[in-house]
């Protein structure tokens, strides 16, 4: 009679129970490390089906992580007694019913999703046509001297583009033909929205530029492919190279704030790569700047870069080491690039796809995004000396407003008659939801 040989046991270290939680974090982070590496090779494959499979797998993982986030948040609400849970406001109640119609949920499905009862949802449905300021369900209605649709336009634009502040919304609507004061936009946004954290102000240091292509700024930044580079083991960071991040080089014209060039690298680029990138930007612009401002990175703070500048007839200027704001202009653009583009999309592991996303953002940034420093103008208008869209004839929705009265800056004549009704049309550049193109049209 044969007996199965007994497998040798693996000795466990003493006190191993106290390190299980730490081991779980290490295992998950190590799995993420391996998955990103494997998925990167698939995303860079020449086989289209392999690339599609890698993208599909990544989207499935993203959906699973979002469901886990919702489960954690729902678990917190479920621990609160039903009588002590915060009540939904009139607008939130209407939004719940709109989502129910879009999802096709039953009463029970809707109630379970939002921690309510079926009787509550049924009561809302019966009172949906109730009117008046104290109605149970309400749409967002404007206030102040402007008509209702003006307030709706401002709030809708903020919902569609959360990264826009009150200054950016006022400048964007001004370019579309509706002149609103910054304080008016801010008052409308504060009514039904939570306060939004204010971005840190940029440095007050000003670099004088007399005309386009006079002063250029150049800098490098790392863009993570999975929203972060943290790891639970020393040195508590993933390698700053592909496939865990991309390195992006940017050059900006100081006078017009126009992005003159952008390039991606798999690792921290050398002087040779950066100089070739700058030569391509100079060739594309058909102009050579007099000054180039950069930090003291290893690519710039070297004799080779200074010799290259001498051959090109460029005078290099360097920011202070470790001092925030020494190259504030390009640092502010990099913050906008990450906040308005790379942090709202799934950063691609394939270089061509990632460059296409960055190119779309740069074109939209140059042509459609107004700048406060430029008084609401765009870099494209300043660089090519075009008439700003904010100075075109404007709409006047207030019927009793005198045509000769002043409007919100900049001053522009009234187009047509006063009291016209207008509607917001928001398009998206190359179908990117984070790149809005705002326009207004007259409603009959």
Q: What are 318's strand-pairing partners? A: 294
**227 & 326 share domain:** yes
Is residue 418 included in any domain, yes or no? no
Nearest-angstrom CA–CA distance, 90 and 176: 31
Neighbours of 347 (CB within 10 A): 18
**300 & 266 share domain:** yes
Nearest-angstrom CA–CA distance, 351 and 150: 42
Is residue 169 included in any domain, yes or no? no
**63 & 117 share domain:** no
* Structural domain containing residue 97: 82-126
Question: What's the start-to-end Cα distance of the chain, in Å?
Answer: 95
42: its two tokens: 């698939």
Q: In this model, does residue 139 exceed pLDDT 80? A: no
Is residue 268 included in any domain, yes or no? yes
* Domain of residue 266, CATH code: 3.30.420.10
Can you give the length of the chain in residues?
Answer: 444
Nearest-angstrom CA–CA distance, 36 and 28: 12
Spatial CA neighbour of 166 closest among 149, 139, 191: 191
Q: For tokens 């639970």, name the residue.
A: 232
Cα-flanking dihedrals φ and ψ of residue 100, to 5°?
-65, -40
Spatial CA neighbour of 435 closest among 334, 363, 372: 363
**268 & 309 share domain:** yes
Is residue 224 included in any domain, yes or no? yes
**46 & 111 share domain:** no
**122 & 230 share domain:** no
23 confidence band (pLDDT: 50, 70, 90) = confident
**pLDDT tens-digit map of 52-108:** 998 898 899 889 988 998 898 888 888 888 888 888 888 888 888 888 888 888 888
Which burial class, exposed, middle or buried, applies to 81 when counting CB atoms under 10 A from its CB (0-12, 13-18, 19+)?
A: exposed
**What order of strands is seen across the sheet that includes strand 245-253?**
259-265, 245-253, 215-224, 291-294, 315-318
Q: Are 176 and 439 in contact (CB under 8 A)?
A: yes
Range with lowest mean pLDDT among 1-5, 319-323, 440-444: 1-5
**302 & 229 share domain:** yes
**102 & 235 share domain:** no
Is residue 50 included in any domain, yes or no? yes
Nearest-angstrom CA–CA distance, 23 and 14: 15
Average pLDDT over residues 334-342: 93
Is residue 289 included in any domain, yes or no? yes
Cα-flanking dihedrals φ and ψ of residue 441, to 5°?
-135, 150
**249 & 221 share domain:** yes
Domain count, the chain: 3
Spatial CA neighbour of 346 closest among 357, 333, 332: 357
**353 & 240 share domain:** yes
**264 & 321 share domain:** yes
Q: Are 349 and 44 in contact (CB under 8 A)?
A: yes
Between 382 and 323, whose confidence is greater? Answer: 382
Is residue 101 included in any domain, yes or no? yes
Cα-flanking dihedrals φ and ψ of residue 384, to 5°?
-100, 5
**121 & 47 share domain:** no
How much of the chain exceeds pLDDT 70, in percent?
A: 91
Is residue 47 included in any domain, yes or no? yes
């Amino acid at each position: 009679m044969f007996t199965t040989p007994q497998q040798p046991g693996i000795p466990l270290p003493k006190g191993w129970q106290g390190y299980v939680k730490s081991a779980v974090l290490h295992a998950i982070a190590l799995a993420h490390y391996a998955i990103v590496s494997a998925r990167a090779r698939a995303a860079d494959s020449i086989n289209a089906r392999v690339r599609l499979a890698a993208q599909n797998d990544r989207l499935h993982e993203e959906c699973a992580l979002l469901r886990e986030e919702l489960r954690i948040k729902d678990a917190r609400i479920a621990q609160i007694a039903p009588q002590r849970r915060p009540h939904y406001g009139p607008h939130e109640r209407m939004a719940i019913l709109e989502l129910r119609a879009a999802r096709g949920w039953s009463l029970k499905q809707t109630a379970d999703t939002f921690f309510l009862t079926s009787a509550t949802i049924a009561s809302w449905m019966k009172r949906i046509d109730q009117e008046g300021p104290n109605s149970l369900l309400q749409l967002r209605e404007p206030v102040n001297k402007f008509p209702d649709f003006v307030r709706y336009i401002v709030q809708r634009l903020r919902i569609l583009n959360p990264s826009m502040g009150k200054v950016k919304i006022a400048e964007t609507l001004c370019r579309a033909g509706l002149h609103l004061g910054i304080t008016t936009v801010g008052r409308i946004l504060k009514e039904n929205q939570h306060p939004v954290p204010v971005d840190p102000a940029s440095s007050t240091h000003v670099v004088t530029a007399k005309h386009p292509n006079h002063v250029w700024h150049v800098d490098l930044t790392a863009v993570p492919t999975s929203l972060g580079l943290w790891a639970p083991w020393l040195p508590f960071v993933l390698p700053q190279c592909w496939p865990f991040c991309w390195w992006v080089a940017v050059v900006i014209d100081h006078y017009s704030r126009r992005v003159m060039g952008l390039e991606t690298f798999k690792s921290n680029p050398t002087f040779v790569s950066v100089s070739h990138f700058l030569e391509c930007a100079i060739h594309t612009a058909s102009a050579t700047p007099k000054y180039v401002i950069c930090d003291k990175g290893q690519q710039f703070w070297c004799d080779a870069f200074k010799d290259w500048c001498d051959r090109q007839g460029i005078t290099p200027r360097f920011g202070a080491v470790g001092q925030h704001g020494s190259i504030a202009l390009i640092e502010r653009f990099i913050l906008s690039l990450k906040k308005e583009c790379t942090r709202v999309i799934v950063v691609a592991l394939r270089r061509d796809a990632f460059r296409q996303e960055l190119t779309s953002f740069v074109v939209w940034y140059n042509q459609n995004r107004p700048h406060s420093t430029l008084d609401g103008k765009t870099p494209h208008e300043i660089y090519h000396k075009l008439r700003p869209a904010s100075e075109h004839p404007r709409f006047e929705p207030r019927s009793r407003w005198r045509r000769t009265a002043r409007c919100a800056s900049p001053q522009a004549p009234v187009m047509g008659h006063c009291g016209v009704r207008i509607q917001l049309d928001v398009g998206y550049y190359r179908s990117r939801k984070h790149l809005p193109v705002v326009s207004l049209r007259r409603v009959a």
